[in-house]
Amino acid sequence: MSNIIKAQKGTKDILPNDIEQWQNLELKALEIFTRAGFSEIRTPIFEATELFARGVGDTTDIVNKEMYTFEKSERSLTLRPENTAGVVRAYIENGMHRLASPVKLWYKGPMFRYERPQAGRQRQFHQVGAEMFGIKEPTADAEIILLAVDYLKALGLNDLDVEINSLGCSDCREGFKTALRVVLKPELDIMCPDCQARYEKNPLRILDCKVEVCRRILEKQEVQNVIVSDYICGDCQKHFDELKKYLDALNIKYKRNKLLVRGLDYYNRTVFEIKSNNLGSQNAVCGGGRYDSLVKNLGGEDTPAVGWAMGMERLNSLLEKIESKKMNAYVVSNFSVEALKLVEELRNLGISCDFDMTNKKFGKQLEKASKNADFAFILGEDEIKNSTISVKNLKTSEQKNLSKDEAFKFVKSMKKT
C-alpha cells in the first residue's frame, strides 16, 4: 500500500457509494435551471493564463497564488480556478451577444486551485454556476439570486443565510477607496503585512481581514463612519434598493453585510454569498454578483452580467447521504442461456436486474438476490419445463409461480412503484 500511486493532494475519487449524491445535484440542477430558461454550456477545463489574469484580476489570491499554470509550446495555460471568465470568453468568442437578450447559461464541472486542503476545500473541486448576460436592471440580480435559492430549496436546503451588499460602480468605488485610504493612513504601520499591501492595491479587501490588529482598527469609530456611510452613488443606490424590494417581494430573507466585498476583481454593484453554519470554517456555499465590465474588459461588446457559483462538495456535505437503491430484480437460475435471455427481456421492459455469472449454487444465488434486489425471478428446471417464472418478493418471502405473460404484466406494475 505504501508504494502505490495515490490520488494527488487535495483531489478525491468520487466512488460508487457517493455517486447518487452527485447525480442528484446534477439532475436537480438540470431541472431547476432548465425551467428557468438557462441552457447548459461546457467550456474547456484549461484556458490561456491571461484570461484569468485579466478576467479574475491579478490582485486576487486566486490569480496570485492559487493557479495551476503550465507551459506548453510556449503558451502559458492554466487549469480553470473558476468558470465565469471561461464562460465570458465563450460568450464573446461565439458572438453570443447577437442572441436574444438575456443569454442565460449554467455549467457544472471541476475547478482547480492550488491551496492547502482542509474541510470544504480541495485542489480539485466542483462547482455549479449560472451566468446571465445582457440585463442591467436589478430584476436580473433578483432573478439570479432567486435561481440560487430555488435550487437550494429543491435540494432541501431552506435555512441558509443570504448576505448581500453593493460595491457600487467603479466611480463610487474609487470614492470609497480614497475615503478608506484617508481614514486608514494613520494605522498603516500597525496593520498586518497583507493589509499594508492591500492598502494601495485594493483597500476594500482590508474590510475582509481577520487579523486581530486589523479587526480592531476596523472597529474604530472614525473607520466605522466611513464603512457605514454609503459611498455608492444615486444610481447604484437605486439599483440596490430595487433589488432589495424584489427580494422582499419574493420573500427571500437576506442580511446586508457591508463587509462583504468578495475576492474577485470583476464585481460591481450587487455581490452576495449564501452561507451555512454547518460547514466549519469554509462556510460559503454560494458566491456571486454583478460584473458589468468584464465582457468589455475581455474584448467583447459592453454587456452587463450577473452570476454565481456553488461548491458542490459543500452542498453535498450539507445533504443527507442518499441510500443507494436495490435493483428491481435478480434472476436466479442455473441455466445460463435462459437466465441471460430473461435478464435482457426484463431490462428491455425498463426494470433494473442482474444475475449470477458464475453459476453458483441455488442458495448462494438467492442470497445474492436478497442482498441486491427487491424480487427474485427464479428460473429452474420446473419453470423452464412449464414455461413459467417463479417471482419471489424478497421482503415478504411471498412467492408466485407465474406464466411468462403474467410475470411480465407484473413487471409493468413493478415499474410504477
Q: Which residues bind RNA (CB under 7 A)?
A: 1-2, 6, 8-10, 12, 60-62, 82, 113, 115-122, 125, 127, 194, 205, 208-211, 262-264, 273, 280-287, 309-311, 313-314, 360-364, 366-367, 369-371, 376, 378, 380-384, 390, 392, 394-395, 397, 399
- Closest contact distance (angstroms) between CB of 358 and RNA is 7
Q: Say if residues 355 and 377 touch (Cβ distance below 8 Å).
A: no
Q: Which is nearer to RNA, 143 or 313 (CB)?
A: 313
- Render the burial of 150-165: b for 16+ CB within 10 Å, e for the rest: bbbeebebeebbbbbb
Of 137 and 367, CB closest to RNA: 367
Closest CA to 126 of 82, 74, 177: 82
Residue closer to RNA (CB basis): 101 or 317:
317
**Nearest one of 156, 17, 119, 103 to 304, comparing CA atoms:** 103
CB atoms within 10 A of CB 171: 14
CB of 142 to RNA, least distance (A): 20
9/75 with CB nearer RNA: 9
Q: Tell me the C-alpha distance between 2 and 12, whole Å.
A: 18
The nearer residue to RNA, 238 or 258, going by C-beta atoms, is 258
Q: Which amino acid is at 333?
A: S
DSSP state of 185: G
**Cα–Cα distance, 289 to 272 (Å, whole number):** 6
CB of 127 to RNA, least distance (A): 5
Coil, strand, or helix at residue 106? strand
Least distance CB 43 / RNA (angstroms): 17
* DSSP 8-state secondary structure symbol assigned to residue 320: P
Nearest-approach distance from CB 118 to RNA, in angstroms: 4
Residue 115 or 242: the one with the smaller Cβ distance to RNA is 115
Question: In the bound complex, what is the minimum distance in angstroms from residue 113's beta carbon to RNA?
Answer: 5
Q: Residue 74 region, left (φ>0) first, then alpha (ψ -120 to 50), else beta?
A: left
| Residues 269, 56: Cα–Cα separation, whole Å | 16
Q: Is the CB of 234 or the CB of 363 nearer to RNA?
A: 363
Question: How many Cβ atoms sit within 10 Å of the Cβ of residue 241?
Answer: 12
Q: Please, what is the minimum distance in Å from the beta carbon of residue 390 to RNA?
A: 5
